[in-house]
Amino acid sequence: MIKRIIYLFACCLVICSLAGCAGNGDDEADMPDVHSLADMLMQNVKFEDSVEEVSSETALRYYGIDSVQVQDSAVYMSTGATAEELAVFQASSTVDAQGILADMKKRRDSQLQMYLDYKSSETARLDDAVLYVHDTFVVYMVSDDSETAQGIISDYLE
């Protein structure tokens, strides 16, 4: 009788330990993240100018985006000597993502007008800017290497 109780107790311990291993948290690691994507782009795409991270509040004000549309963001801007920049937003919904994409298009068009008068060599970068939306993620990137950026973004988000 005692052997059966010990055996049942040992079986319960094994079952409990196996159940505890089932939730290993890998689901969260597979979720896209704006900061991870921005880091990958910053490490793998070359910029001519110095590009520095700006606060979310500054970026939202700069782009004219309402904070309720955004869950998270990572934004890097140049000194202004070039049009280079990177903005990765996770919108609150797919509808908000489309609104943010429209704001990014307005930003690009505004920059085109400004650099046309200021430094016309930057217009080629702006014409080739990456404007990308996937689900709730929106990416805007101005650099000399849009093809590499596009590949990194699509590999990461799709």
Amino acid identity at 71: Q
C-alpha–C-alpha distance, residues 119 and 70, integer Å: 32
pLDDT score for 99:
97
pLDDT means per 10 residues, the chain with 158 residues, are: 50 48 51 94 94 95 94 95 96 97 95 91 94 97 95 94
pLDDT score for 8:
46
C-alpha–C-alpha distance, residues 16 and 14, integer Å: 5
Domain ranges (residues) in the chain: 31-157
H-helix segments, 23-145:
26-29, 34-44, 56-63, 94-118, 123-127
pLDDT score for 10:
47
Please, how many CA atoms are within 13 Å of residue 90, restricted to the half-sphere of its CB? 13
pLDDT score for 71:
97
pLDDT score for 117:
86
